[in-house]
Amino acid sequence: MTIRNKILRYFSISIIPLLGICLLTVYLVFKGYRKEEFRQRQKEKITSTLTYLSAFSEMDSEMLKSFNRTVIDSMLNEKLLIFDAKKELVYRSLDDTQVISLEKILGRLSPNSREIGLTEGDYDVVGLYLESGGNAYYGIYKSFDEFGYTKLYFLRNILIGTFLAISVLLLVVTFFLSKHIAAPIRHVALAIQQYKIGAKRFRLDLNGKSSEVDALVNKFNELLDRIDLAFMFQKNATHHISHELKTPLAVLVSNFEKMERMEDNKELRDLLVKQKHMTMGISEVINVLLEISKKDTGTGLEEKELRVDELIFDLCDELSAIYPDFMFSVDFGSGIEDPKKLLFLGSESLLRAALSNLLTNCIRYGHSGMANVLIKTKSEQLCIQFTNRGETLSKKEVKSMFKPYFRGHNSKGILGNGLGLALVKKIMEVYDGDIVYTTPDKDVNKFTMLLPLR
């Protein structure tokens, strides 16, 4: 069922019965008022008749007929009976209307029960116990409220017509309102149905008419970004691995060829050391890809507590052995008084790969032969800053620097394939962290790794 139909159904189901209850209440209140008002008139008629009769000790037949004619003309379809204290009939109106509950009413009337009211079909019957001139009387009056029922039936028809008219109007108004309310959502749903996995730059446009729908569209576009990135990684997995391994393997073969021609043992040993580290780098890339695939497939990662500072010092020592002319300066900022804040629960191979990539970039893209590493805490996050002097990226390049295969203008003549920073970004997403690039000064590059404190 569409949202428009749900709005129409639920609004109609809730409002129309409520309207019917309100109109029914009006009808029932007026019906009760009619009965009370008519019975009051009946009691007044009994009282006035008894008062008139008690004023005469004797009445001739002509006077009685005249009185009866006056009573009959005052109300239609009525019967008035008056009894004395012994419950013997002393007066009866001339009409032929019968009181079915006569015995029942006389039996219940007494000085302790002075009034009884009941109905016989459409007729209202009232019984009264009265005292006049020191004598007790019983009056029973049955009549049909033609004028009151006429007004009641007229009100009933008006209320039924009002109910039907307002119900139809509510359905029409609700139909157009629900259509207007659901239009943005329907537009989004139709646009989503046109999406195909792998489609190039398929994104939904914001209409600005509804903040809720705009928020939904924003989240959907973010989801598309993640789907496109994951699809690209999946689609080009073989391409990623081959690109990552092709260059190191080519260098490996070239170095073996050099070794065959070398006679100097020292030069051969240095080359073997470099070759060892290059081979370890290839193994590390393969491990990173495997660990990320474990996370993506939900098989879990092998995690343990790691001292981030110790891991950085180990990597700096390894890189210094390969690049002896480059120096790293590692400092500690505010909030590191407690060594426990340097602990991070994660995969050693993934965190090591991310740190190694950023340290290696400091060497490859630095001009001063030195890089600074600052470790501090910031808003419940472990903050690691890598700063070096070198050619910076333009604003346009910064927007794409964490995408696979991207290489900036400052990478000319430097070996690489544009996957390093993309892997670092992916690793940070695995641990709900982030990697940020800034240029605080001219020719100064700063990468900030943010890891949540665990």
Query: In terms of pTM, does the model score above 0.75?
Result: no
pLDDT score recorded for residue 59: 47
State which of 181, 205, 235 marks the end of a domain.
235
118 Cα distance to chain centroid: 57
Residue 421 within any structural domain of the chain = yes
Cα–Cα distance for residue pair 338/50, rounded to 1 Å: 106
Beta strands across the sheet bearing 444-452: 327-332, 370-377, 381-389, 444-452, 434-438
Residues 207 and 121 in one domain: no
Q: Which CATH number fits the domain that encloses residue 82?
A: 3.30.450.20
Name the residue type at position 242: S
Cα–Cα distance for residue pair 107/110, rounded to 1 Å: 8
Total domains present in the chain: 3
Residue 277 within any structural domain of the chain = no
* Angle subtended at Cα 372 by Cα 366 and Cα 378, rounded to the nearest 5 degrees: 130
pLDDT score recorded for residue 58: 47
State which of 189, 217, 235 marks the end of a domain.
235
Residue 42 within any structural domain of the chain = yes
Residue appearing with tokens 């009185």: 67
203 Cα distance to chain centroid: 23
Helix (H) or strand (E) holding 125: strand 123-132
Q: Among the residues of 262-388, which ranges form H helices?
A: 265-297, 308-322, 348-364
Residues 126 and 32 in one domain: yes
Residues 97 and 213 in one domain: no
Buried/exposed code over 255-273 (b: 16+ C-beta within 10 A; e: otherwise): eeeeeeeeeeeeeeeebee
pLDDT score recorded for residue 73: 43
- Closest Cα to residue 359, out of 402, 390, 388? 388
What pLDDT tens digit does each residue of the chain (454 aa) get? Answer: 667 677 778 778 888 899 999 999 999 999 999 998 988 888 888 888 888 776 654 445 455 455 554 544 454 578 888 888 888 888 887 777 788 888 888 888 888 888 988 888 888 999 998 887 778 888 888 888 888 889 999 999 999 999 999 999 988 888 888 777 777 777 767 777 766 665 566 666 666 566 777 777 777 777 777 777 766 666 555 555 555 566 666 666 676 666 666 666 777 666 676 666 666 656 666 677 777 776 666 666 677 888 888 999 999 998 888 888 889 998 888 777 777 888 888 888 888 888 988 898 888 888 888 899 999 888 788 899 999 988 888 888 888 888 776 777 777 766 666 677 888 888 888 888 899 999 888 889 999 999 887 6
Q: Which CATH number fits the domain that encloses residue 390?
A: 3.30.565.10
For residue 407, count CB atoms less than 10 angstroms from its CB and return exposed for 0-12, middle for 13-18, buried for 19 or more. middle
Residue 142 within any structural domain of the chain = yes
pLDDT score recorded for residue 288: 72
Is the separation of the CB atoms in 331 and 374 below 8 Å? yes
pLDDT score recorded for residue 90: 84
Give the residues across from 452 on adjacent strands: 381
Residue 350 within any structural domain of the chain = yes
Residue 358 within any structural domain of the chain = yes
Residues 9 and 147 in one domain: yes
pLDDT score recorded for residue 72: 43
Determine the structural domain holding residue 98 and report its residue range.
3-151
Cα–Cα distance for residue pair 259/272, rounded to 1 Å: 8
Residues 111 and 206 in one domain: no
Cα–Cα distance for residue pair 281/361, rounded to 1 Å: 14
Residue 401 within any structural domain of the chain = yes
pLDDT score recorded for residue 159: 94
Residue appearing with tokens 């430097």: 414
Residue 168 within any structural domain of the chain = no
